Amino acid sequence: MTYQSSKSEQKNESWWNTRTQLEKVLFGATTIFASAFVFVSIAFLVNSNKSWIGNIKTAKSVIFESATPYVCMTSGCVKAASHIIESMDQTVNPCDDFYRFACGGWKETKYINDDQTGITEFGALRENLNRKMRALIEGPPKKDEPFYNDMMRLMYNQCMNQTNIETYQASPLIDDIIEMGGWPVVENHEWRQESFNWLDTIIKFRNKGFNHNILISVFVGPDFKNSTRHVPQVDQGSLGLPNRKYLLKGLNDSTVQAYYETMVDMAIALGAQNKTRVKQEMMDVILFETRLANSTIPMEERRNFTRLYNQMTIADLTKIAPWIDWQKLVKSIFLDEISKDEVFIVKVPSVISRVDEILSQTHPRIIANYLMFRMAFSALPQLGKKWRKLTEKYDKALTGKNGERPRWDTCMRRLYGTFGVPMSALYVRDHFDPESLEKAMEMVRYIHQEFVESLEKVDWMDHKTKMRAIEKAKGISTRIGYAKEILNDTKVAELFHGLVLKGSATFYQNVQALRKYWTDYDIKKLREPYDKNDWKKFSQAVTINAFYNSLENSIKFPAGILQGIFFDKNRPNYLNYGAIGYIIGHEITHGFDDRGRQFDKDGNNRNWWEKETDLKFQEKAQCIIDQYSNFHVLEDKNLKLNGVNTQGENIADNGGLKQAFLGYQKYVKDAGTEPGLPGLQYTPNQLFWISSANIWCAKLRLESLKLRIQTGVHSPPRFRVIGPMVNSPHFSETWKCPLGSPMNPTKKCTVW
């Protein structure tokens, strides 16, 4: 056998990475204070010709006359005003293009580094969070820290120790390939076909911590029809590319071509001889995976949960896919005994039948080449730089980025998936402001109540369906911040019971041990009830995201998103309602989008819609689908959005922004009008809309935009502003946009 493992050179670190932590802190502090001084001065000059109408209320607050009754001059307001002014392009008419108006200045000042796919406000907040967490991980451990924190730091330090990683190069991967039966394209005539069985290989993947859901997915998940339990499930397998559409384009697509070339380069790097032969064998692999892609159903056809719910026993599975030894497969994947009468939920039986047919018709050498490539490709991030660079061509074609992120950033991000709970505990203890919880919860109450009241006013629903909708909306539970159990070391320790990571093992080996552990963890849930109040479902507090869960009928806002541009208790509430309020309304509305509406108040997949109202919903949703399908990115007019795949998020955006605005009006009615911001001659309502746009400021590479549109369920950032606002009469009224102007079209789409 001729597997190869060699060393590679390393580049010097950038100027910034060579600075000390103190230098970085001082540089950042100087920048912040300088910016604050400049914008306070601007604000003073702008308002200097206005009469004083009040006196200094406190040492931190001064009141000026403005477009609003008062101007807030607290540090929180000055900071917010500074960011808004920097972000805006006030030469743009807000009724022509509100996204450019709110984000034009932001985009002009941002530069996408080679190692980035783009820059977003979400990303900026995540990077800031990563820096905070880096300081905690790299800092000295606190006295009596739990054992899982030691394991977390071990993984980070091993990831950072590139010198050690370079010493073993691809050796552990080669050992695994040999253990799996070898990679035919590398071994050539030495590979023994008679010893190969694709099912045995998949089982070995499962036992070594590699992805076993490549040809067919077999896993444990909640029962959509009875959301109190877990059930075994079968679905189409995963592909090496992010979406079937890439493979169906063939090698004429630059991403598929780069993917194919990566296959060839990997095989040669591991010792394959005769490039002509290697290219032909990998071409066979591409054609095989294309057949697999053709057998799957597209995302557009996976939005109806009822169609994805097909109960079958092993005997039933054997009838539709006789080439697969189902008894052997499930016995090897699951940890519990699976009887012949066990009922599986099979998502799309026809796909399983087609995969079975493809496997029966494909030469074992091609299947083996495909499986070994998928396994090796997934392992490259754990290897030395030479091996990681093998994916650069593919990464550039797929996302536009060229090069790796700073090593500390890569290592930090890896921890979130495997040690998210301990990371969350560190963050909450050291950085989270508990006072934010009360203010955020108040916002949820206002917006939630507004949504319930809006349902009562809906004129296209019959009475029965409306009453069920209101009952479901009132039943939505809310979780904000973090589960208190993450601060209980004993509780968290239970999550890691049985996990063994060795300091003497390589980074590669410990990564595989973690993957195996968490796969087992999920599989073990089979005989456990689905507990909707389980604290572990809200344990990832260090997350820049928010969630609606149909099975729980719940909305969740982790501590990580309650900061920065999304939320600040020290600034006026119109900015918070425009930012995190938009997100709150969005998550609430998810319960009533095209997918969320398929679940009742108890989290079960059940049709609670009367037929006539159901048809009216579909008609309104189709308006959203058609509207967004006609949006195209500015960088490429031929690149249009997928209105079907994004309809759920678009419905949630439109409804969520509306509820946030109306919720804020209720807040003002109770609390009174808020002051304006220095240097900004806009009303609180106008600043609400500016804030709601600012959170989506982004600058993305064209390749990244294409990837998002091909694979994502969210519209690109620009259309999360333009879409909901062109449909909003409240927006047009606030900005006095003439009917027929770009931001106030005559035809509008609305669902909620």
C-alpha span between 336 and 232 (Å, rounded): 11
C-alpha span between 665 and 677 (Å, rounded): 18
What region does 305 belong to: left with phi over 0, alpha with psi -120 to 50, or beta? alpha
- Residues in contact with 417: Cβ distance below 8 Å, sequence separation at least 6, in sequence order: none
Tokens encoding 329: 């497969």
**From start to end of 630-702, where are the E strands?**
632-633, 636-640, 698-700
The dihedral built from the CA positions of residue 485, 487, 490 and 495, taken in this order, carries a sign that is positive
Residue that is written with structure tokens 């203010």 in the block: 439
- Residues in contact with 318: Cβ distance below 8 Å, sequence separation at least 6, in sequence order: 324, 326
The dihedral built from the CA positions of residue 215, 221, 223 and 224, taken in this order, carries a sign that is negative
According to DSSP, the β-strands at 344-346 and 477-481 are unpaired
C-alpha span between 95 and 657 (Å, rounded): 18
- Residues in contact with 48: Cβ distance below 8 Å, sequence separation at least 6, in sequence order: none
C-alpha span between 322 and 221 (Å, rounded): 24
Tokens encoding 585: 């309304």
Bridge partners, 230 (sequence order): 222
User: Which residue type occupies 10?
Assistant: Q
Q: How far is CA 602 from CA 310, 593, 648, in A?
A: 21, 16, 20
Q: Virtual CA dihedral for 200, 204, 210, 211, nearest 10 degrees?
A: 30
Q: Give the chain's radius of gyration (CA, Å).
A: 28
Instruction: Answer whether 645's CB lies under 8 Å from 580's CB.
Output: no
Q: Which of 568, 653, 674, 703 is catalytic?
A: 653
C-alpha span between 302 and 332 (Å, rounded): 28
Kindly provide the b/e burial profile for residues 395-423, where b requires at least 16 CB atoms within 10 angstroms of the residue's own CB. bbbbbbbeebbebbbebbebbbebbbbbb
C-alpha span between 685 and 676 (Å, rounded): 10
- DSSP string for residues in 11-64: PPPPTGGGS-HHHHHHHHHHHHHHHHHHHHHHHHHHHTTSPP-S---BTTB---
CB count in 10 Å sphere of residue 179: 11
Residue 653 annotated to the active site: yes
Which residue, 415, 511, 409, is CA-closest to 165?
511
Residue 610 annotated to the active site: no
Which residue, 439, 658, 692, 374, is CA-closest to 569?
439
Hey, is 189 helix, strand or coil?
Answer: helix
Q: Which of 97, 121, 395, 587 is catalytic?
A: 587
Query: What percent of the chain is helix, strand and coil (3-state, nearest 5)?
Result: 55, 5, 35
Residue that is written with structure tokens 């849930």 in the block: 525
Give me the active site residues, please.
Answer: 587, 653
